[in-house]
Chain A
Amino acid sequence: MLKRDFLKGLASGLLFLSTPAAHAATRALPASHNKNVVWIMLRGAMDSLHVVVPKFDKHLQNHRAALIKPIIDTLNPLDRGFGLHPSLETLYGWYQEKSLLPVVAVASPSRSRSHFFSQDLLESGNDQVDYQSGWLARALAQKQMQGLAFAHALPISMRGNQTVKAWYPSSLPSVDEDIYSQLMHLYDQHPQLQAQLQRGLEINQTMGEKNNLKRAPFNQLCRICGETLATTDTQAAMLEFGGWDTHNNQIPRLNRQLQQLDKGLQQLKVSLATQWQNTLVIIATEFGRTVKVNGTQGTDHGTASALFLAGGAVKGGSVMGEWPGLADHQLYKQRDLMPTSDIRSWIGAALQQHWSLNDAQMANVFPAVSVQKRSLIG
């Protein structure tokens, strides 16, 4: 039935005529459906000690003087004696407006220091990796909301929910639309390809002219993401941003990375426009890095890192998370920042409060975790 309707729409050209604006105008959704979530995964392990810097900790300089000295006087002051890296200008503005909430010393259950295992585990949100089910997809499913991943295929955190789609811009020459109806017919015996093509055509239609971009760096994807959330029925989006694996020359590399992140987030806010007030942005990475500088002016794989909750919906302006200290005996395995809380307990609390999920629904999102009780949203 679905397919026949689709072909009918295709044939009459109606499907290709309806615009994102038309969607927005006709929507009448429950309140939670107007509340957006943007999930940004920083792949490669961001060195949180270089970003939310514990200036007050007297051991910091002993471990990493070479990394800290050049930036210590340029940090923007945060609550509890922390300092924010100067490249995060926009984020500091948000902090002052009380829409940025850094949480320190968080980690997923992973203690492996493998990027790939730890990313999979964080995305899955369970105690073991489930490649077919991710936490954001599960959260969306609780309220029958739609999601979009800016990726070539669904990343794990967006898997397991039929309403979530993957999209990225491409500027290949478009083809005669007739070929699509022929292919839908050719795929009659192959429901998997048929469903895949249908999802592709639907998302292409939603994204309209954005399909024609040749390529999109992170800040452009952020802009497209904001526009899409502000004008369509999509409630949650996922963005990925790599390049954090700073084993060498960390200072210049993180300057660049953080500038790009900051620029992208600025674009996101601008394009969300008034919808910013109803948005929760979650920014996290798979693990932190070694407390000590390594032999090549960088840092190696560590354990705890920091999480950012941001957006107009967030009750920000302070730094949360218990600080474990940086004395040798306070480190995890005498090398890494010790995790003091489960990253999922914060993400879960923020999601629960933002989307008004009840405890039973939360148990479907993060089955193994009890969420933080503090008020993070509103």
Chain B
Amino acid sequence: MNLKFQNKKITGILTVLPENEVNFDDEIDNYDFSRAQSMKLKLIMGYGKRRVVKEGTTISDLCIYGLNYLFDNGLLKKEDIDAIILVTQSPDHFVPATSHIIQGKLDLKKDIICLDINQACSGYPVGLNQAFMQLEQEEVNKVVVLNADMMSCKVSAKDRGSRPLTGDAASITIVENDTSGSTIYGTVNADGKGAEALIIPAGGFKMPSTPKTAELVTDKNGNSRALDHLVMKGDDVFNFVQREVPPMVERLLDKAGKTKDDVDYFMFHQPNKFMLKKLADKMGISYDKMPNNIVENFGNSSGVSIPTNITHNLGEKLLKEDFLICLAGFGAGLSWSSLLLNLGSLDFCETIDY
């Protein structure tokens, strides 16, 4: 579905990374890899350093830390926040919504919209879409979009396909009304028939966690997982991304009357280096316009990899300059989404450690 928003803008982006860093080289013995395989995986997939939370840390901790950083540095005022939209699949609890927990702990005003959105790797554009819609309300002037996930806790230590790629992170994006007559174009898509391509089978109401769902089972590729763990059909996900993302971006650009050359940067979700390079090849986009270095530096933090990509790779540039940016997210659901917007002259665009 095509979306269009008038007079909305992003005014600041902050990424919060847990300072705890795990290096693939230190973990190699966990996996049944030969030395040659390990070297190849580092080079091709981008296995490297990743940031993961320490036990006991939750996504609300990361979000609250980041918001307090903004309050303390005069970059955001508590009383100005009219809505909090939190995109996550690792909430503190099933009940209540984590956005409410954050609102309460920070003593934010009660005259506020709090909304959790259950989306994974395509969640960042989806959360921004919701923020743009909230801003249509007369009394909503500033929306905080939080995107946070800590899936490292849900990936088996003996899953060599997913574990070395997975990281945790949170991001805070401020969205406001704009008077410049700008237009933001977007798309959202869903295919629930592919629900099992990326799934945590147990732990919800359909299959509650029990000692049985925690038992490790080894698959034919030698990876051991429990039903409580995230399981990904890598080949299905690869084919899905190659099939759906290039035409989605074509349609988006077409609607906006722009070409690929008009776009300064394609800031995409970061599943792994290999998939991003293949995507760039298929779309005929040079690698320097589509960064693919987030997994090797921080890990794939689901939807948060898009704001991490922006603050890490464009950071200070976005304080002074303006760019036409295409965002795209794709993953569990299946879900895929995109946005085309002018981004720049931000109040802040940085990465901090928790």
Q: Do A and B come from one complex?
A: no
